Amino acid sequence: MQPPSEPAEYAVIPFENKTGNPDLNWLRTALSATLSSRLKDRRGMTTVDGSFVGQVMGEQGVAPSLVLTSEQAIALSGSLYAESLIAGAFEGRERELILTASVFSGETGTSVKSVTVSVQNNDRSRAINQLIDELTGVTPTPERSVLRDATDGGRARTRTIRPPIETAVEGFKSLSFDSAEEVERSIKSYRMILENNPEFADAHFAVGYGYDKQGDTEKAIAAYRQAVTLNPLNVDYLYTLGYAYERTKDYRKAIEYYKAAFAITPNDAEIAFALAFAHEKIGEYAEAITGYRQAIALNPVDYEAHEGLASAFEAGGQLNQALEQYHKLMELRPTDPAPTRTFISVAVRMQRWDDAVAACRALIEKNPRDVETREVLAQVYRSQGDIGQAIAAYQEIVRVDPGNASAHISLGNIYVRQKQYDRAVAQYRAGIRAVPLASLLYYNLGNVLTSSKDYRGALEAYDGYLKNDPAGEYVPGVRKKIDELRLKVMKEQ
């Protein structure tokens, strides 16, 4: 069987039929073929369709499955010269299908990303387009994720709990919570006070505070609740009880007490932030956005409230507003790379390539040796199809960091897809000279030399892989390739 005319970025494995209805087996080919053609049309990527992959899988005895072993993914990728593989499955009835697809790296054999979509009104075409967008919208090749330093939600910052009042009860000195011994002594003392005065709300609060200091949140909550029962209008009690529930991840309870506290003191920015954060944690993004905006109005310099607002916009799908807010964060902290990296992540997700490129370049200008951002910049160029700029970006990485094996590999892979096989071979070999222990360089070099019918060179490259990674995931597949190549070399003699 002849391999594809050119190396593929994606090979689409026939979808697995998980409906239990064999009459729907025809959908396996239909879905995989549609996905292959749409990848080429919508993203301009080189693909290998499911029918060809199915033949190769049959020869290798690999059944189509949503879950591939690392060895299977690597073996298939090596046979097809594919950088990534998409495996999928479908469930349900013909008009009510659920499609699941995963991208597997052809280099590492590991799953890079998984997506599940439903077919509405039998519109499989739209579902396939959605799969493609979600699978390839951020990083079409599994090299480096567009990393972000910001949290995935509002920041769970440590907030101040008001210490108990200094109680001066006859027979007791003012009690302290500064050390473990003093905390234990204070808890006992306040409990003795409560034996004589069980309705002393501040004493209940002090006991709770002591338990909190000891890390016993359950007992702290019980004591705080007693204080709130006795004095339900005390904002400190309400807020502290809400914060205790937040730390136990009981966000519904936290919201209940934060709301009560904020109703009493609607000018308290800290409570507004806490309420917004709790809403965000349970996916109530509209309420979170309202809360963060209130916190910002009350304290315009609260960076974490701005950050929370941005994350709530993003999580709620309001990406334009999220991007604007992340840009605001960049202005608030111009020396902090975290908001810029998050801005880049959202811009890439929205395919706003110019914004992503500009933000990457701004970070690189501040720190020319920021290799991580340079790698993201190269990926952005690849995502928008500007291969020339991507090559230049990877070349800059190699210049700044000659020992960066990933950059050598990425450059070589691009040259392979451009059918510039001599340049790919030269790049892999340059990488091997710079990073002689990087086994993937040997592996990729062996694949290219095999496709170029330089069987002796391929044998040498695969041998280098085995020497550098004798227990690696690729070893079984490489040994099989070596056996096949030796037979071909013998035939040439």
Q: Tokens 């990457």 correspond to what residue?
A: 360
pLDDT value at 272 more than 70 = yes
Distance CA 33, CA 59 (A): 20
pLDDT value at 452 more than 50 = yes
Q: Tokens 């905006």 correspond to what residue?
A: 293
- Left if phi > 0, otherwise alpha if psi is -120 to 50, otherwise beta: which for 419? left
Burial label for 424, CB within 10 Å (0-12, 13-18, 19+), is buried
Tell how strand 82-93 and strand 16-17 pair up.
Answer: parallel
Higher pLDDT, 36 or 324: 324
Question: Which of 460, 405, 409, 462 is CA-nearest to residue 435?
Answer: 405
pLDDT at 44: 67
Q: What angle do CA 8, 9, 13 make, to 5 degrees?
A: 80
Tell how strand 96-105 and strand 82-93 pair up.
Answer: antiparallel
pLDDT value at 247 more than 50 = yes
Question: Which CATH number fits the domain that encloses residue 25?
Answer: 3.40.50.10070
Distance CA 115, CA 134 (A): 7
Confidence of residue 146 (pLDDT cuts 50, 70, 90): very low
Q: Within 13 Å, how many C-alpha atoms sit on residue 283's CB side?
A: 0
Would 199 be classed as within a structural domain? no
Would 366 be classed as within a structural domain? no
Would 308 be classed as within a structural domain? no
Distance CA 454, CA 317 (A): 51
Distance CA 161, CA 298 (A): 20
Burial label for 335, CB within 10 Å (0-12, 13-18, 19+), is exposed
Contact 419, 407 (CB under 8 A): no
Domain boundary (88, 121, 136) is at 136
pLDDT averaged over every residue in the chain: 84
Contacts 24+ apart (CB under 8 A), 399-402: 400/368, 400/369, 400/371, 400/374, 401/369, 401/371, 402/434
Would 118 be classed as within a structural domain? yes
Distance CA 199, CA 196 (A): 9
Would 424 be classed as within a structural domain? yes
pLDDT value at 321 more than 90 = yes
Contact 139, 379 (CB under 8 A): yes
475-493 residue pLDDT tens: 888 898 899 899 988 887 7
pLDDT at 422: 94
**Domain span holding position 419:** 408-493
Question: Which of 443, 448, 393, 389 is CA-nearest to residue 417?
Answer: 448
pLDDT value at 129 more than 60 = yes
pLDDT value at 99 more than 60 = yes
Distance CA 343, CA 326 (A): 6
Would 12 be classed as within a structural domain? yes
Domain boundary (116, 136, 156) is at 136
pLDDT at 287: 96
**Phi, psi at residue 301, to the nearest 5°?**
-95, 10
Would 243 be classed as within a structural domain? no
Q: Which residues lie across from 48 on neighbouring strands?
A: 11
Question: Which CATH number fits the domain that encloses residue 493?
Answer: 1.25.40.10
Domain boundary (136, 162, 180) is at 136
The pTM is what? 0.60
> Total structural domains in the chain?
2
Most confident option among 72-76, 146-150, 226-230: 226-230
H or E element, residue 396: helix 387-400
Would 478 be classed as within a structural domain? yes
| Cα-based distances in Å from 283 to 82, 179, 277, 307, 323 | 38, 39, 10, 16, 19
Burial label for 150, CB within 10 Å (0-12, 13-18, 19+), is buried
